[in-house]
A and B are shown apart, each in its own frame.
Chain A
């Protein structure tokens, strides 16, 4: 542990109330937690760790392993499906446990976990808390009793910027956790920077220029963003100061905008809403521009165009046209055949000559020539449209490769000069070069780039892209049919004939372009087919082309089009045996080109393939995805780190690693795209964090946390709220004398509802919460009253899915007074829509229509409209006033199908793969009556997908349903276009 970490721990332990620690992101949160776990002793009770993510759990365990070898005392998980008495035993064992808030709160309420058995409570991700969240509920259950022992609450957050969102967030979080100390540990803290900067790693900052097309796309996206922002500002609904393109680069930007717009969300027009979502899309486009290769990027754009379609505003803007154009240009170009001379004039003479031949009648020969010779153009038979492949590589790829080569070379030199391996090299892992990328996908792709070469990777992506296009058009089918008819021209068998008929009429460029794409695609698929059919011959052929493609790409740089293997005209390739005969002919007609190409091909072969394999050896490389959140420094012990996608958190982690291993030599390379938003984003993220800390420091100086005489924190105004419940109670009582509330009110709450804050608030109001698993309804207030609670989002969603109808139906079946509670959110507007949004006609999609229909069909359903959770709690109290208390065992049995016995007090989601069941129930052919049989007889959905139709029919009790399902599962996706 570094000195500053020890300081954090000892500061935190000073106050018996505990405290809230806010760290810069990337500082070693998990090793802090680990050291706190080491300090824990089972005799004092159990230590509960709340809200840890999976990756945090594993990294905490890893830190413990390091600190506490050889037999560490690792905290164990408390799974929800563990039988309740086992859970109770775990709580009282005094061990350190990871618990989810939902389980813990239910266990506390049912006294399976008693507060006296808890030594301390550790809460991670404190930035997610609010005073109505379940963690706050737990803190209150543990701390609110004035006579209970003082259980320290230790809360952590490494997202300072999230801690300052909203008004006095830190203070509110602290109050609801009953702590009074705020510990701030920014990266610029004196102790932190002293520790980290003692032996800083050697840093090399490499700026890679973006290709012109990338720059173009970037500026176009930024332009579109700016336009969207301007448009948004014009609505006068948002605070202009927050709307800058810089902030637009972050995910949290959406939150900023939404927080401002949420209270008035119903009053803003469709266009504004669309703008907000467009901004999100655009931000993604910027991000993917530096992360994805050109082909994948284009593919993503295509997908976007299909899925966003007509709704988006930005898709129609000028700049977005540019985005699409440039993205396409990075991959391929479409040129008219008659323009070709002009367009190729500046190229080498061979190219020109070949073009001349193109105009000649002997198309056959030309085709033959280009096929055997790896021509890079596809010619649409009638329209004269040529597809040129550009396949621009990501500039960083090349730089990465060179960098790796350089590293290896340096190492060799060093070895030679010292004459023996360096001392560190003794530990074999230390010569690993760690390349850190944003996501797993980039890792895989870079790995391929290193092993296969960049061009190959691009070609594969391109092939996949084309095949995808072809499949969309159901080309293969048509193709097979047509290719049987003899065709006059060879290049484009079959499908182009269909294309050509369209081309006969003057058609738009995009049409021609599409045809050209399809032609290319069909060739690729033919190629694949024939490689199987013919065997070795074409393979040799195609390999030669690989070399050539690489050669031209290399030789002439990025401006020249790299060539791929898609040029081969399909049915002619079958005559590969004749190739040799034809070759001389073509050599005659176009002698110079082939001659000049040959040597090129040779050299390229060397420069292309051999530098991959032999010439320049590479050091061992390990790829690492930042998203995966695994901390692998201590496992791999790299001496060189290349930050392929620079990230602030990762930088801090490197610093910590270096500081923990001061003797180790460490060199860090950063790969930035020059003048890109990548750089901006990196710098802005540091600025943003510092800003957040400055604001927190200011807040800390003004903070007021009340404590009682013994220095214990008094929670958030607990006393006056208990009273409020009695008021409406006594006032509305009509009959009978005024009895004081001797018995506390009880509410039965469905386990799943602990995701919401209503149980917490009900408890605040002094009600007893009984958590059980309910099959019908969310809350049972009395033997007669059952409530289905819907937040506004839920309401719309469950209307759309039809779930609400079913829920109401069952509730009506079992309860005298079924209630649908429509709960609005305090910080959002109290209404569905503004008057001008209602429209002139009764429209079936409007919420008014749906509610009316519901009410018409279920006249017994009672509606409760609540302004906020707190209002709901009051309504509940007043509805219960004249009623008996609900019976939990009865409530639980309601609506439970008799054949499958229900496990008491268990969370449904822990027993069932709820998402899979929901998915299953949405498949066509699957109904309420047959889905249980499917669940019982297949293990999971993957297995279901492979079942034969006969077996399905058995399970689903009918041929028709089974066929519907099977057909849907196996149907070809007719996407795009």
Chain B
């Protein structure tokens, strides 16, 4: 039993209710197995998911509410996975959104079985992943750092970064360049020149 629970920890547990859901076909990156659980999908220690398609919601508007009420409070993350499978989405989605939000559930929308399945897989796979990939950071090579910095100025694109870099030689030279020098770079038009120059020369605080 110990080994099977060890295996279970690495698998998504699926409620018997979900039998026949075409979504299951698309869970390929993680193992899954049926189990007796209250939620539809048990994704890890503290996270679970309920599945609802908008079409089903239109037929049974109260279904989601009752399902959420059944869930225990001890899940940290309670996902409502909403399959958007109708054309006229605004009203049903509005209701689902409202129900999920007012009952402490996180709503995720997928537009295909593949996408819904991928959300389940990802939440499982990323169970213990740090948030590095969505935190502020960048590639460490010089050009991508330079690009990262310079493209924060509106209208400046990657080609311009290369142009600026090769015409001035270093970032400090770019920052110190005069309007005329900037204007001489191919592809840097009037508007970009002004934006660049203003960014570098206008004081950080406009009002003293």
Contact = CB atoms under 8 A, between A and B. Distances in A.
Contacts of B159: 303-304, 307-308
Contact of A81 (B76, B175, B206): B206
A864 B107 contact: yes
Contact of A915 (B93, B134, B152, B158): B152
B172 A945 contact: yes
Interface in B154-170: 154, 158-159, 161-163, 165-170
B106 A861 contact: yes
A842 B121 contact: yes
B25 interface: no
A627 B101 CA distance: 51
B183 interface: yes
A801 B136 contact: yes
Contacts of A939: 203-204
A805 B135 contact: yes
B145 A968 contact: yes
Nearest to B46: A859
B149 A973 contact: no
Contacts of A922: 148-149, 152
A303 B186 CA distance: 10
B15 to A, nearest CB: 20
B59 interface: no
A627 B109 CA distance: 46
B17 interface: no
Interface string A310-334: 0000000000000000000000000
Given A830-B89, A853-B131, A864-B101, A306 B162 contact: yes
Given A911-B207, A942-B176, A805 B136 contact: yes
A630 B111 CA distance: 51
B108 A444 contact: no
Interface string B172-207: 100110001001101101100101001111111111
B142 interface: yes
B58 interface: no
B205 A628 contact: no
Contacts of B77: 855-856, 859
B170 A879 contact: no
Contacts of A923: 149
B65 to A, nearest CB: 11
Interface string A602-643: 000000000000000000000001011000000000000000
Interface string A427-456: 000000000000111001000000000000
A167 interface: no
Contact of A862 (B107, B180, B198): B107
Interface residues of A, number: 101
Interface stretch (A373-381, A752-760, A843-851): A843-851
A831 interface: yes
A3 interface: no
A203 interface: no
Given A849-B122, A853-B134, A945-B171, A867 B89 contact: yes
Contacts of B134: 799, 802, 804-805, 850, 853-854
A835 B167 CA distance: 44
Contacts of B115: 832-833, 835, 838, 848
A874 B205 CA distance: 38
A968 B126 contact: no
B146 interface: yes
Contact of B94 (A308, A855, A875): A875
Contacts, number: 261
A862 B101 contact: yes
A797 B162 CA distance: 21
B199 A976 contact: no
Contacts of B73: none
B176 to A, nearest CB: 5
Nearest to A861: B106
Contact of B175 (A307, A942, A973, A976): A942
Contacts of A912: 204-206
Contacts of A842: 29, 118, 121-122, 125-126
Given A441-B184, A913-B206, A941-B200, A853 B126 contact: yes
B162 to A, nearest CB: 5
A850 B172 contact: no
Contacts of B165: 973, 975
A528 B163 CA distance: 23
Contacts of A919: 149-150, 152-153, 199
B90 interface: yes
B60 interface: no
A972 B204 contact: no
> Most A CB atoms within 10 A — which of B118, B125, B168?
B118
Most A CB contacts (10 A, CB to CB) among B47, B145, B172 go to B172
B143 A878 contact: no
Contacts of B146: 973
A918 B152 contact: yes
B162 A913 contact: no
Contact of B162 (A81, A802, A862, A975): A975
Contacts of A292: 186
B31 interface: no
A843 to B, nearest CB: 9
A919 B109 CA distance: 34
Contacts of A625: 190
B9 interface: no
A854 to B, nearest CB: 6
A300 interface: yes
Given A732-B98, A835-B115, A863-B107, A916 B199 contact: yes
Interface string A397-417: 000000000000000000000
A144 interface: no
Contacts of B136: 801-803, 805-806
Contacts of B106: 855, 859, 861-863
B99 to A, nearest CB: 10
B133 interface: yes
A292 B190 CA distance: 15
A916 B200 contact: yes
A834 B118 CA distance: 13
A9 B173 CA distance: 51
Given A284-B187, A805-B131, A864-B107, A848 B158 contact: no
Contacts of A946: 172, 176
Contacts of B100: 862
A528 B134 CA distance: 49
Interface of B: 28-29, 46-47, 76-79, 82, 84, 89-90, 93-94, 97-98, 100-101, 106-109, 111-115, 118-119, 121-123, 125-127, 129, 131, 133-137, 142-143, 145-146, 148-150, 152-154, 158-159, 161-163, 165-172, 175-176, 180, 183-184, 186-187, 189-190, 193, 195, 198-207
Interface of A: 81, 284, 288, 292, 296-297, 299-300, 303-304, 306-308, 439-441, 444, 468, 471-472, 625, 627-628, 728, 732, 799, 801-806, 817, 819, 830-835, 838, 840-842, 844, 846, 848-857, 859, 861-865, 867-868, 871, 874-875, 878-879, 903, 910-913, 915-920, 922-924, 935, 938-942, 944-946, 968-976
Query: What 4 A-B pairs are tightest by C-beta distance, nearest first?
Result: A802-B136, A973-B165, A859-B77, A835-B112
21 contacts: A440-B183, A441-B183, A801-B136, A802-B137, A842-B29, A848-B122, A856-B77, A856-B127, A857-B131, A874-B94, A875-B94, A912-B206, A916-B200, A917-B204, A919-B199, A942-B175, A945-B172, A945-B175, A968-B145, A973-B143, A973-B168
Given A832-B115, A945-B172, A968-B145, 20 more contacts: A303-B162, A303-B163, A439-B189, A441-B184, A802-B135, A803-B136, A831-B84, A842-B118, A854-B134, A856-B47, A856-B129, A859-B46, A862-B101, A875-B97, A879-B98, A916-B199, A916-B204, A922-B148, A935-B205, A972-B169
